[in-house]
C-alpha cells in the first residue's frame, strides 16, 4: 500500500510540474518581456499574441514606391474582445503604440523603451499609460 501511495504522489507531482511548465506566465507591466510569433503573452487585463511583420508601401504622386515599416502586428484578446494592434517605427521615430482595453490605456513599446532603454529584437514592454494618450 505504501508503494501505491508513493507512486500516486510521484505521478501527481510530475503532472503538476508539467502543467506549471506549459501554463502561460502572467507578464508584468513596465518590464522587458520576450515574445515569439504565435505564442500568447498573458497580462492581467488581456493577452497579446505576435502575429508577424508586415511592410506597407507608400506611393508618391509620381508613382514612386517608398517602403514603410515594418509594422509589427499583435492580436489583443480579452474575454469579450479580439482585435489587432500594431507598432511601427514608421518614419524612424521610435514611440509607443497606445491602445485601450476597457477603460484602461496601455503602451506597447518595441526597439526602445522610454524607461528601460534599448530592447532586443525579441523583447517588448507593455506599460500602463495616461488615458489622455489613448485614442
42 CB neighbour count, 10 Å cutoff: 14
Reading the block at residue 4, the C-alpha cell is 501505491
Do residues 101 and 78 make contact, with C-beta atoms less than 8 angstroms apart? yes
Give percent above pLDDT 90 in the chain. 53
pTM of the model: 0.73
Across 46-72, average pLDDT: 86
CA-based max dimension of the chain: 85
Residue 62 backbone phi and psi in degrees, to 5 = -85, 0
pLDDT of 8 above 50? no
Amino acid at each position: 500500500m505504501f508503494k501505491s501511495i508513493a507512486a500516486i504522489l510521484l505521478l501527481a507531482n510530475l503532472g503538476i510540474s508539467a502543467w506549471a511548465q506549459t501554463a502561460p506566465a502572467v507578464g508584468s507591466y513596465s518590464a522587458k518581456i520576450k515574445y515569439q510569433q504565435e505564442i500568447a503573452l498573458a497580462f492581467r487585463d488581456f493577452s497579446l499574441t505576435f502575429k508577424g511583420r508586415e511592410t506597407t508601401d507608400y506611393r508618391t504622386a509620381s508613382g514612386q514606391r517608398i517602403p514603410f515599416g515594418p509594422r509589427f502586428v499583435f492580436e489583443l484578446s480579452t474575454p469579450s474582445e479580439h482585435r489587432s494592434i500594431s507598432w511601427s517605427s514608421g518614419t524612424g521615430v521610435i514611440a509607443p503604440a497606445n491602445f485601450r482595453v476597457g477603460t484602461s490605456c496601455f503602451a506597447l513599446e518595441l526597439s526602445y523603451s522610454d524607461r528601460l532603454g534599448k530592447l532586443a529584437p525579441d523583447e517588448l514592454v507593455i506599460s500602463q499609460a495616461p488615458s489622455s494618450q489613448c485614442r
